[in-house]
Amino acid sequence: MTVLTVDLQDRSYPIHIAPGLLKTSLAGVDGRRVVVVSNDVVAPLYLQCFTRSLQEGGAETMEIILPDGEAYKTRDSLDVIHDRMLEAHCDRSCVVAALGGGVIGDVAGFAAATYQRGVDFLQAPTTLLAMVDSSVGGKTGINHPRGKNMIGAFWQPRQVIADTTTLATLPERELSAGLAETIKYGLIRDPLFLDWLQENIERLLARDEEALAWAIERSCRNKAEVVAADELEASAHNGRALLNLGHTFGHAMETGLGYGRWLHGEAVAAGSVMAAELSRRLGWLDGAAVDGVKSLFARARLPICGPALGADRYLDLMRQDKKNSGGRIRLVLLKGLGEAVTSSDVAESEICAAITACCE
């Protein structure tokens, strides 16, 4: 088992990565009620073994099953969790555990952050995207019709339990979506990892256990380092915001198309290509580098062209992004492969040109 630490002083927590963890008795739950939130796809596969392991650790468990999909990352789902917890008389000693992908982790985490002003939270990610990104770092929240992840809170888990055996049942489309966030770490700060991904992307698609374990560990190590340095994304100069490469474009796609039409990782991939193209137009990347970015995402079976929403619609949606400052769109761009920066100084005409060049 690999154990990494997200170093946040008195709120530090471990990330456990290994096969079979959902069947392992968990520490820290003795005598506590654990509210397991999952969805109707994951629960039939893993809920029974996970609740059994919690009970063997001394916990009392209750389960809340939500419908699967980004379309259910809503206030209604949040209300379902809160209603069930209130009906069961859960007090502040309870623990909310998220068993599922990024949607479940975000909604359950936000429920934990807001129930009685905050209760303990446990992440048990079952998708590659959740393992390498959304389960680590404490971002929780729900979508709003006007923008993705616009309502939420920072609420760190007490631990992350990444059972890699769950990837065996992950649909191919979901696996590729997770690879988008993995590639992101190479593009923004880890050129050696990017080189490794270029050489091993087919092994990851084939679910080679050794390759997947290494990619998850390397991704989580990158995420943990960034979060420890800038937990609340407060740095005015890069910091945690760099983790949003492709996300400003990608969130516009998800909102504009309707939540759930594209997976988050698919939108991040196409958005990252737009960011690379814009970086080329600013003179920071050459054409060969942009072609290499496109090729890697394409080999990962991810889209490299965004939906044709129209550049004006993209801009309208991007103006709602949380990273914006002073009324200007703030983007994560690439000074080079493995070197990302944030910028609020790009002319909207240049942004529109990059969007148009990268749309179907």
Structural domain boundaries in the chain? 2-169, 173-357
Q: Is the pLDDT of residue 146 over 70?
A: yes
Fold of 173-357: Dehydroquinate synthase-like, alpha domain (1.20.1090)
What are the beta bridge partners of residue 96? Answer: 35, 121
CB count in 10 Å sphere of residue 259: 18
State the distance between the two ends of the chain, measured CA to CA, in whole angstroms.
Answer: 43
Nearest to 46 by CA among 5, 6, 104: 104
Q: Is 122 within 8 Å of 136 (Cβ atoms)?
A: no
Note the CATH architecture for domain 2-169.
Answer: 3-Layer(aba) Sandwich (3.40)
Residues 109-126: tens digit of each pLDDT = 999 999 999 999 999 999
The DSSP output letter for 267 is H
CB count in 10 Å sphere of residue 275: 30
Least confident of 23-32, 131-140, 209-218: 23-32
- pLDDT of 358: 97
- pLDDT of 236: 67
Q: Is the pLDDT of residue 247 over 70?
A: yes
Sequence-separated (6 or more) residues with CB below 8 Å from residue 336: 284, 285, 289
